[in-house]
Structure formats: structure tokens, C-alpha cells
Structure 1
Amino acid sequence: MKTIEDADVVKAFEQRLREELAETIRLIEESKEYRAPVELDQQSVGRLSRMDAMQQQAMAQDITRRRQHRKVSIERALSRIRDGEYGYCSECGEPIAVRRLDIDPTFETCVRCAP
């Protein structure tokens, strides 16, 4: 049975977190053009096309906010790995089940303490 005390288990989660962090940063950078202000050019964009562009911009901004939040969560998990606190509940101090971390390696609490 895998436990969080196993150094190989922690290394595997660290690798997974680093890969997800790199991908998240790439996606944030890639979406910059979609978050840019919508130009008011009455010659080339009609009213409905402009509204559609503004809606797409708002959706891109929302996705970026969620990606930024995820990036922070990943960075916090990597910090807990560096500090030797990864895999332990921030509320009660008990180990977090590896199966729970498999679902989301950024979880900071065990099932009992989860909100």
C-alpha cells in the first residue's frame, strides 16, 4: 500500500505538479491575445460581432483567473513538498490518503477536515 511517507510517492507527486505547473503557465501565456481589449472598429466588426468578441474576451479572462488560481495552488503544494509538509492535513496534521492526492495533488486537508 502506498503511503505519503514513501519518498518515491512524494517524488511522483512533485513531478506531476511540476508538469501541470509548466502546462498551466504555458496556457496562461498563450491566452493573452484572447484577453486583450476588443477594438472598436465599426468598419470591420458589426454590433453583434463586437458583442460576440466581448463575450469571448470575458470567457478568456475567467478561464485565466481559474488558471491563475490553479497555478497558486500548485506552487503552494510544491512549497509544502520543499518544507516536508506535503501530504499532511493542514488542519489536523494527519496524513492525507494517497488516493485523495491522486484526485488532486494540491489538496491540503484530509477528507475529515475538508470543507
Structure 2
Amino acid sequence: MTDPRAALEGELAELRAARDGTSEARRPVVLDQQSVGRLSRMDAIQNQAMAAGEEARRSARITVLEAALARVDAGTWGLCVDCEEPVEAARLAFDPAVLLCLDCRQG
């Protein structure tokens, strides 16, 4: 991969835009029994919980991508964090934020 920064920053931008677009879905559910029925409230609570879970996964990936950008800045991107040997190009092409070479991943 010739420019890991572009790929990492592109994915970060997508995740941040998605986070901004789903903020309404993660808001607490108002339990007004006069305006909605029991099943509608249960659906709303389930949808809110799924949106919160999705945001947790998104936030974790943002953290991973930011750490990969820090490795780019430090000049250590593409090196296994365990053995410090180069990570296979195919692994980096698939996920530019990968931390481990295949040997360390399997070991």
C-alpha cells in the first residue's frame, strides 16, 4: 500500500459521518404511555440499544484507526507491534490498521 494515510483518514471520515448521522437514534427513549403503545416502546428501546451497540463498535474502530495514523506519523506503520517485522502487504491492503504479522497473529 503506497499511501496508508489516505485509506486510514478516509475510513475515519466515513465512521465520523456515520456517528453524526445516527446520534438521534442513540438518544434515550421517552416512555410516554399516552403517545405510544407498549410494543412501540419496546421497539424503540430495542432500536436505541442496537444503535448504541453500533456506536460502541464504531468508536472502537475509530480508536484503532487513530492509533494506526499515529504509527504512520512515528514511522512504524507496517511493522508488527510484537516482533517488529514487516506485516504482510496483503494484510495491510485488506486492513491498513492491522497490528500483527501473520506469524504473531497465529501464535
Q: Smaller-chain TM-score range?
A: over 0.9
Residue 76 of structure 1 pairs with residue 59 of structure 2: no
Q: In the TM superposition, what are the counterparts of 1:49-60 in structure 2 within 5 Å?
A: 49-60=40-51
Equivalent residue number for residue 90 of structure 2? 99
Residue 14 of structure 1 pairs with residue 5 of structure 2: yes
Equivalent residue number for residue 23 of structure 2? 32
Q: State the 1:98 CA deviation.
A: 1.1
- Following TM superposition, the consecutive aligned residue runs of length 4 or more in structure 1 with deviations greater than 2 angstroms are none
Equivalent residue number for residue 44 of structure 1? 35
CA distance in 1, matches of 2:80, 2:51: 34
CA distance in 2, matches of 1:71, 1:50: 31
CA distance in 1, matches of 2:14, 2:53: 18
Count residues in correspondence: 106
Superposition TM-score, scaled by structure 2 size: 0.95
Deviation digits for residues 13-65 of structure 1 (CA, Å, limit 9, x no counterpart): 21011011011111111111000010111122100000000000000000000
CA distance in 2, matches of 1:58, 1:42: 19
Matched residues, percent identical? 44
Q: State the 1:95 CA deviation.
A: 0.3
Residue 65 of structure 1 pairs with residue 56 of structure 2: yes
Q: What is the RMSD of the two structures over their aligned residues, measured on CA atoms?
A: 1.1
Q: State the 1:75 CA deviation.
A: 0.2
CA distance in 1, matches of 2:91, 2:102: 8
CA distance in 2, matches of 1:94, 1:15: 23
